[in-house]
Amino acid sequence: MDRVSERTWKCVRASIVRQARKCGKLKRARYSDALIVSIYLWSVMHDRTLSWACDRSNYRKPFRPRKLPSVSQLSRRIRTQRCQKLLQAVHDELGDLKTPTSISYLDGKPLTVGVASKDAQARRGHVMGGFAKGYKVHICSTSDRRIPLWSVQSLNCGETLAAEALIAHMPMFSSQALVLGDGAYDSQRLYNALALKNAALLARPRGMNLKDIEAWKKGRHPKSKESGPVRNEAMAAWKNPPGPATWIYRQRIHVEGTLSNLCGFGGGLGPLPAWVRGLPRVRRWVGAKIILYHARFHARNSQQDAQ
C-alpha cells in the first residue's frame, strides 16, 4: 500500500469511528458496526470478496483487526439498517453535502454486465453506440469535484427520473446557483424542480443543430413537447450561438474529470466484479467506492496543504 492509499484509509477509518460514536453501540454485539463497515470498505478498496475480507492473512498496516467475523456474519450485518446508516453518515461527512458550490453538474455512467447474466435487476438500456445490460450511476457533482449526491438505477431508468430524485435531496442554495447537464436532462420538470431550490438548469436542448437556430428565433423550440417560463428563459440563451449559454456550457467538461478521477485510481470505480450483482449490492459497492474517492480527495488536499 502506497502512502496515498495509506492516508486514504486513515481518513476513512477516522470518519467511521466518529460517525459510529454518534450512532451509539449495538447491545450484545460481538462485532461493532464500525468494525463491520471498516472490513467491508477494506474489501472494496482492494476489489475483493467478503470471504477474502474474513481471511486474517489479507490484513496489514494500517488496518489489523483483532477479531474477524465469519462470511455469513459479515454478509448479514453489512445489510442491516444500522450499517447502511453508518455508511451514509460517512459519505455525508466526506462528501460534505451541506456545502454546495455555485455550479453543479448532472451526469451518469453505465455499469454494464454480460448479456448472459442472470441478474434479474440488470435491465437493458441505451449506452453510447447502442444498447447494453446493467446499471447506471447518476451523480450530481460540484465544481470542486465532490459527489455529494448519487443514485444507482437499472440501465433502463431515464436520466430525468433519476435527476428528479437527486434534486429532491439537494439543500436549498443560499444564492442563485447553476446546474449543467447534457441533452438528456432537457426536461421542463427538472427546470421547475431546480427553480424551487433557488437554482437554474442549463441543459443542451435536445436535437440542437444549426438548422434549429431560425426556429428558435421565431419562438419554436425543437423537439419539445412542453415548455414553461423557466425553460423558455434558458432557451433564450441558446438562440444565437455562440452566445452566453455556449460559453457557460463548456464548463460541463469538469464533470468528465470527476468521473475519470472516480475511476482512475487503484481501488476506484471500475467495471462491476462478477460477485456484485443485484441492485442493493451494486448500490452498496458504488457507495463504498465514492466514499473511498472522497477520502482520497481529502488525503491529497491535506498533503498539498502540508507542503
- What's the grid cell of residue 45? 478498496
In tens digits, the chain (307 residues) has pLDDT values of 788 899 999 999 999 999 999 988 877 888 999 999 999 999 999 999 999 999 999 998 889 999 999 999 999 999 999 999 999 999 999 998 888 889 999 999 999 999 999 999 999 999 988 999 999 999 999 999 999 999 999 999 999 999 999 999 998 888 889 999 998 998 889 999 999 999 999 998 876 654 555 555 555 555 555 567 888 787 777 776 556 777 888 889 999 999 999 999 989 999 999 999 999 999 999 999 999 999 998 888 776 655 5
Q: Which residue has the cell 438500456?
A: 125
Number of Cβ atoms within 10 Å of the Cβ of 281: 17
What is the distance between the terminal CA atoms of the chain, rounded to a whole angstrom? Answer: 21
**Three cell numbers, residue 131:** 444498447
The three cell numbers locating residue 214: 431560425
Residue 44 grid coordinates? 472494496
Three cell numbers written together for 83: 450499517
- For helices 81-95 and 3-23, give the axis angle rounded to 10 degrees: 120
Residue 70 CA to residue 8 CA, distance in Å, equals 26
Position 100 scores a pLDDT of 84
DSSP 3-state percent helix, strand, coil across the chain (nearest 5): 50, 15, 35
Q: What is the pLDDT of residue 210?
A: 45
Q: How far is CA 221 from CA 184, 228, 306, in A?
A: 16, 11, 52
Contacts of the segment 75-81: beta carbons below 8 A, 24+ positions apart? 75/50, 77/31, 77/33, 77/36, 78/36, 78/37, 78/40, 78/50, 78/284, 79/280
